[in-house]
Amino acid sequence: MPQKFDLIAIGRAAVDLNAVEYNRPLEDTKTFAKFVGGSPANIAIGSAKLGQKVGFIGKVSDDQLGHYVTQYMASVGIDTSNMVKDDTGHKIGLTFTEIISPEESDILMYRNEAADLYLNAHEVSKAYLAQTKMLVISGTGLAQSPSREAILKALLIAKELGVEVIFELDYRPYTWQNAEETSLYYQLVAQKADVIIGTRDEFDVLENHQGRTDQETIATLFQYDANLIVIKSGIQGSNAYTKAGETYHFGVFKTKVLKSFGAGDSFAAGFLYAYQHQLGLETALKYGSAAASIVISQLSSSESMPNLDQLTAFIEKAEAQEVHQS
């Protein structure tokens, strides 16, 4: 079957209610703006805005909010034919955000019985996955059955078909039972993934071991299928490690920070665009960093994802300013 999609993402699609009132705690916030959220949904949206051909596998509530998410994702060019409506009454996940200051922002998630966690294995189509070059798996979908089995089925199909598997760790503690369970299922996917992306803290969760160095982490994970591991370290930037022994680093772009959330999803979208277009790993890290800087300077995560012109213009302006200042 011809490959229709550059990538398909699977897992969480939800609703973000972001605080419009800045510099105050959530307890005192009264006004929120509604956006599509959820790490794999955000990565799909960011990728589509960059011009990628994108599909999505997930489950949403059969109500106004579920319809809103599906309609918005379709409006940015994502194929939603494999987004399933939950017919058993489960509601979509909600995330409330708090912006006290650029350095102090937080999220409050409501994910009890969330619809995306009820994606069933039989709702994952081999014929659909056969149409993509890349599958993006988010760690959140592994937190609970039956979503867990659906994710693992998609992983096994992708490996069978030769589809490149990207594992975006996306650790959220809210639906996990304990650290051992998290590490177990993360390792099952990490050992099969071709590319693994996460923060230093998320890799510690994967290994269930605090204080590991990047070199210790990659030495363990490169024993398996991974050819590329990307470890993000906040303001210190990010590093890409290849199984062949190459290391690439890129820092962060200066920007006026509004919030801290949303950076990881936008980084993944920017990085994967450059990676898939074979622009080089240093450029991929640069695109990821630029996309993250754009998103953390604005209120939304999904709607702030840049298109390719916006992304390249941001990079050109930032690099020109850096040369001028030097």
For 76-106, write each residue's pLDDT tens digit. 999 999 999 999 999 999 999 887 776 677 7
Confidence of residue 144 (pLDDT cuts 50, 70, 90): very high
The mean pLDDT value for 245-251 works out to 97
Q: Report the C-alpha gap between 50 and 161 in whole angstroms.
A: 26
- pLDDT bracket for residue 323 (50, 70, 90): low
The band of 324, judged by pLDDT with boundaries at 50, 70 and 90, is very low
More confident residue, 103 or 202: 202
Other beta carbons within 10 angstroms of residue 113's beta carbon come to 15
Q: How confident is the model at residue 325 (pLDDT cuts 50, 70, 90)?
A: very low
pTM of the model: 0.95
pLDDT bracket for residue 301 (50, 70, 90): confident
Residue 10 forms beta bridges with which residues?
A: 57, 137
pLDDT at 102: 66
| Domain 7-325 fold | UDP-N-acetylmuramoyl-L-alanine:D-glutamate ligase (3.40.1190)
- What SS3 class is residue 179? helix
Euclidean distance between CA atoms 107 and 67, whole angstroms: 23
Residue-averaged pLDDT of the chain: 93
Cβ of 275: how many Cβ atoms within 10 Å?
A: 25
Structural domain boundaries of the chain?
7-325
Residues 1-49: tens digit of each pLDDT: 568 999 999 999 999 998 888 888 889 989 999 999 999 999 999 999 9
For residues 277 and 270, what is the distance between their CA atoms, to the nearest angstrom?
Answer: 11
Of all residues in the chain, the percent with pLDDT exceeding 70 is 96
Tokens, residue 143: 């937190």
Comparison of pLDDT for 223 and 260, the residue scoring more: 223
Following DSSP, what letter does each residue of 201-253 receive, concatenated? HHHHHHHT-TT--HHHHHHHHTTTT-SEEEEE-GGG-EEEEETTS-EEEE---
| Average pLDDT rounded to a whole number, residues 151-173 | 97
Mean pLDDT of 295-312: 89
